[in-house]
Structure 1
Amino acid sequence: MGYRPALAVLDILRGEGVDRVFGNPGTTELPFLAALADTSDAPEYVFGVHEGSVVAMADGYARGTGRPAFVSLHIAAGLANGLIGLLNARRSRTPLVVTAGQQDRRHLQQDPMLSGDLIGIATPAVKAAYDVQHAHDLPLALRRAFALAVRPPAGPVFLSVPTDLLTEDTEVEVPSRTPVPPAAPAAGLEHAASLLGAAARPAIVAGDGVGRENALAALVRAAEACGAVVHHQPMADCLDFPTTHPLYAGMLPPRHDAVRAALAGYDTVLIVGAHAFTPHAYTPGPPLPPGLQVVQLDSDPHEIGRNFPAATGLVGALAPSLDRLSELLRDHVPAHTAKSRTLRAGERHAAERDRVESAARAAYSPAPLAPWAAAHAVARGLPPDAVVVEEAITVGLLLRRLVRLDRPGSYTHTVGGGLGWGIGAAVGRALAEPGRPVVAVLGDGSTLFGLQGLWSAARQNTPVLFVVMSNGAYRTVQETYRAMGGQGVCPGTELGELDFTQAARFFGVDAVRAESADQLRELVAGAGKLTGPLLIDVPLRS
């Protein structure tokens, strides 16, 4: 069936399940906007006043819905503004399909205002970039982009579309969507089960592939089948294992020397869906201790042996692979052995959690709050079924040690490192899962980078609780500076005292300043009753 080019785009979006377009418009997108306005069943246009928050909203929405989100940016400058979000999405492997309108081809050689090398700008930040030059190529390129965005490793795919191409007086054919069969379990699971079954001190590193592929329950079954303790990968973007489980041993630190020390007590480790150990600061040496036997499972074949050697590498869909592995492990590990390991691990982990809990609770006070107390108040105040969107950097590390979460999708972070993601991502998550409370825990520096996202929160009336941990500094930079032997105050890291309640109200968001840790916990506990956005400014001790 033939369509005019702009209508062909809408037909493909409907077929791909796109119900929202995240965008910041300009003149080169007008043909597409006109098609949206003239089509009764077109996707809703979610407007953002800065491309950074637009891409972040799409990122959060894609994670919440489990399908690619669609983004419309404006020409070279708009694409450049969105690059931070695209870099985050690529690192976090969030599937996005992103378009930007290019200037009219009939005067492109005259270097018109706002034109630029869109493909050159986008390529380092995306999986693939297509320069569409013919109307008949647009439907195929767009269909291909959606397929590529979800194929392991998932990520953003970009298309440059000249504005005049969408207005051509021609009809184009729209290719049908090709159903993709369910991914199969990995081959070689019997050998993996024998290696893990023979281990005296097995462990598991749960990578973000587990959360992305909804394999959390399957990983729990595999861990319980052999009694292996489970660590989250460093700076995990997802909840990849329940933090309430007795086998949960916490997150590995983001330094190779610390990872090496944490894994030194094990003889065999199953590494599932982990791209790497994501070091933050360089330390010499490999991440794995000598003699550690590695079993690696990933849905992306390029990951096997990429960052560390493995005794055996398995490629397949994580959930069915882990389910099959758990069945095989029961033939290798006696049930009483697995149960005994689980009980011993649970006792150790419970004692450590109690120690941390007591220290954090003892730090409660009126504002300004100790970071431990602020993190504890948020963790204990979270309503059931809440989604935590975290971009708090230093306080976030404390929060990870305190949250008690077990539902998939309950914790969202970006390892991409581009600040300003958290506000927009929280708005996107709230749009994707309107029945779940969303609590965004943000650093003050991160909030400043993404402040425009509050405009969309107000206009969409998303019931998000924004918790801004305000310590008046780039604290993680200061701490690293001191660890390197720096003296005095690190230049360029002091933000000073800021009143985020005023910033929130400027954008139309209600706001309050936390006066104590107990009040903060109560405010967080009320997140499930919100009917619109609310920001809490949390003053922290330096």
Structure 2
Amino acid sequence: MAARPALAFLDILRGEGVDRVFGNPGTTELPFLAALSEAEDAPEYVLGVHEGAVVAMADGYARATGRPAFVSLHVAAGLANGLIGLLNARRSRTPLVVIAGQQDRRHLQQDPMLSGDLVALATPAVKSAHDVQHAHDLPLALRRAFALAVRPPAGPVFLSVPMDVFAEDTEVEVPARTPTPPLGTAPGIERAAVLLGGGARPAIVAGDGVGREDAVGALVRAAEACGAAVHHQPMADALNFPTTHPLYAGMLPPRHDAIRAALAPYDVVLIAGAHAFTPHHYTPGPALPPGLTVVQLDSDPDEIGRNFAADAGLVGSLGPSLHRLADLLRERVPDQTAKARVLRAGEQHAADRDRADSAARAAYSPAPLAPWAAAHAVARGLPPGTAVVEEAITVGLLLRRLVRLDRPGSYTHTVGGGLGWGIGAAVGRALAEPGRPVVAVLGDGSTLFGLQGLWSAARQQVPVLFVVMSNGVYRTLQDTYEAMGGKGVCPGTELGPLDFTRAAAFFGVDAVRAESAEHLRELVAGAGRLSGPLLVDVPLRDRPGRA
């Protein structure tokens, strides 16, 4: 089939399931925008007033829909603004297809305003970057971009498209879409069952690949089949195992010494879909304790043995592989043995959760709130089925210990660490799942980086509850500074008093300040009844016990 370049482009977008374009346009995108305006069944254009918010919205949308989201940026400046979001998407393995309009080829040699080497600029932040120089190459390049974006490891793919390529007076061929076959069950799963089933103290590390590949149910079956305690990978981006399950043992900390200590009680571990235990702060020594038998399963072959040796390394689709592993484990591990392990783990983990719950309840007070109390109020107020989008840094670590979630897609974070992601990601999540409550739990520093996303929240009237934990400092920096032996207040970490209700009003978003922990819980409990965005400003003590 042949079509004009812009129309061929739209044909491919429709065929790839793209129903929204997330963008902030400029003159180099005008031929593409013209095609959108002329086509009756064109994707909806979702406008953001800053590219950071644009890419974050696409990130949240792609994670919720399970398919690549499409992003349109504007030349070098727009691409540069969007790089933080692309870095996050690459780290979190979110499939995005991103284009940026380049200046007209007929005067590129004259270094026109806003032009630049877009491929060189994008390359460090994306999985792959390409420069499209001819209209007849555009459809094939776009097809390849969508295929590459979802191929393990998933991630953003970038295309630079000069504006005159869209407007060329020619017809181009539209290649048919070729579905990518799934990997299927990993070869060698029988050996994995022997190693895991033979352990006296088995454990599982649930990586973000489990959530991305919709394999949570399969992992639950495998864990129950051998009675293995299950930890989330460090700073997990998703709900990869139900936090309500008796085998759930919490998240591994993002330091090698702490991971090593947490895994020391076990004699065999299955690491499923986890990205190499990438640490945050340096500590000497390996992540895994000596003598631990390691089974590693991933859909990305590059992960196997990447940062630690595995006694069995398996490559395959996580869902089918874990289901097969569960069947094999049921044959090897006596049912009474597995059930006894589940019972013991459940008693221990319930006691740990009860202690955390009691400590948080004891901290309830009028505002300003203790961080434990604020996290607890949010966790207890969440309506059933809520999707939590978390970019709260220090309070987020407390929230992870308190939330009781079992539905896949219930928790979203970005391990990329580029601040400003949360507001836009929550907007994208709400657009993808209308009718599902969305609660974004944000730090005040993160909120300042992503405030422009509130404009899109108001424009789209998404029913998102934005909960801003406001302590007026970069708390995680101050904590790390003190842990390193720093004296006094770390320079450059004091934000001072901030009124986020006024910031929300500027963008047309309703806002309220939490007056107490119980008031915060009530506000969160009402998230499912929202008809538009609402921001809750939560004053925090900058330290526990200090107002």
TM-score by length of structure 1 reads: 1.00
| 2:378 corresponds to 1:364 | no
| Residue-by-residue CA offset, 1:504-529 (whole Å, 9 max, x unaligned) | 00000000000000000000000000
Distance across 2 between alignment mates of 1:228 and 1:526: 37
Distance across 1 between alignment mates of 2:82 and 2:45: 17
Partner amino acid, structure 1, of 2:107: H
Partner of 1:438: 438
The answer to whether the 8 A contact 1:134-1:165 is kept is: yes
Distance across 2 between alignment mates of 1:334 and 1:217: 21
The answer to whether the 8 A contact 2:147-2:180 is kept is: no
In the TM superposition, 1:87-486 aligns within 5 A as 87-486=87-486
| Residue-by-residue CA offset, 1:142-181 (whole Å, 9 max, x unaligned) | 0000000000000000000000111000000000000222
The answer to whether the 8 A contact 2:93-2:154 is kept is: yes
Distance across 2 between alignment mates of 1:482 and 1:164: 55
Distance across 2 between alignment mates of 1:278 and 1:534: 35
Partner amino acid, structure 2, of 1:494: E
| Residue-by-residue CA offset, 1:222-252 (whole Å, 9 max, x unaligned) | 0000000000000000000000000000000
The answer to whether the 8 A contact 2:149-2:157 is kept is: yes
Aligned residue for 1:182, secondary structure, equals coil
| Residue-by-residue CA offset, 1:452-491 (whole Å, 9 max, x unaligned) | 0000000000000000000001000000000000001100
Instruction: Using the TM superposition, give the Cα deviation of residue 278 of structure 1 relative to its aligned residue in structure 2, in angstroms.
Output: 2.4
Partner of 1:26: 26
| Residue-by-residue CA offset, 1:60-106 (whole Å, 9 max, x unaligned) | 00001000000000000000000000000000000000000000000
Distance across 1 between alignment mates of 2:181 and 2:253: 37
Partner amino acid, structure 1, of 2:409: G
Instruction: Using the TM superposition, give the Cα deviation of residue 380 of structure 1 relative to its aligned residue in structure 2, in angstroms.
Output: 0.2
In the TM superposition, 1:45-56 aligns within 5 A as 45-56=45-56
Distance across 1 between alignment mates of 2:359 and 2:213: 35
Distance across 2 between alignment mates of 1:3 and 1:421: 37
Instruction: Using the TM superposition, give the Cα deviation of residue 276 of structure 1 relative to its aligned residue in structure 2, in angstroms.
Output: 1.8
The answer to whether the 8 A contact 1:71-1:96 is kept is: yes
Distance across 2 between alignment mates of 1:487 and 1:180: 56
Partner of 1:76: 76
Instruction: Using the TM superposition, give the Cα deviation of residue 182 of structure 1 relative to its aligned residue in structure 2, in angstroms.
Output: 3.0
| 2:531 corresponds to 1:531 | yes
Partner of 2:545: none
Partner amino acid, structure 1, of 2:223: A
Worse-matched range after superposition: 139-148 or 176-185: 176-185
| 2:490 corresponds to 1:497 | no
| Residue-by-residue CA offset, 1:267-322 (whole Å, 9 max, x unaligned) | 00000000121211100000000000100000001110001100000000000000
Distance across 1 between alignment mates of 2:442 and 2:276: 25
Aligned residue for 2:434, secondary structure, equals coil
**Runs of 4 or more above 4 Å deviation:** none
TM-score by length of structure 2 reads: 0.99
Partner of 1:521: 521
Structure 1: 5+ residue runs without aligned partners?
A: none
Q: Percent identity among equivalent residues?
A: 85
Aligned residue for 1:196, secondary structure, equals helix
Aligned residue for 2:319, secondary structure, equals helix
Partner of 1:65: 65
Partner amino acid, structure 2, of 1:52: G
Distance across 2 between alignment mates of 1:278 and 1:386: 28
Distance across 1 between alignment mates of 2:182 and 2:291: 36
Structure 2: 5+ residue runs without aligned partners?
A: 543-547
Instruction: Using the TM superposition, give the Cα deviation of residue 183 of structure 1 relative to its aligned residue in structure 2, in angstroms.
Output: 2.7
Aligned residue for 1:35, secondary structure, equals helix
Distance across 2 between alignment mates of 1:27 and 1:21: 17
Aligned residue for 2:332, secondary structure, equals coil
Partner of 1:5: 5
Root mean square deviation, CA, Å: 0.4
The answer to whether the 8 A contact 1:235-1:278 is kept is: no
Partner amino acid, structure 2, of 1:212: R
Aligned residue for 1:439, secondary structure, equals strand
Partner amino acid, structure 2, of 1:33: L
Aligned residue for 2:331, secondary structure, equals coil
| Residue-by-residue CA offset, 1:356-386 (whole Å, 9 max, x unaligned) | 0000000000000000000000000000000
| Residue-by-residue CA offset, 1:189-233 (whole Å, 9 max, x unaligned) | 111101111100000000000000000000000000000000000
Partner amino acid, structure 2, of 1:73: L
Instruction: Using the TM superposition, give the Cα deviation of residue 47 of structure 1 relative to its aligned residue in structure 2, in angstroms.
Output: 0.1
The answer to whether the 8 A contact 1:366-1:517 is kept is: yes
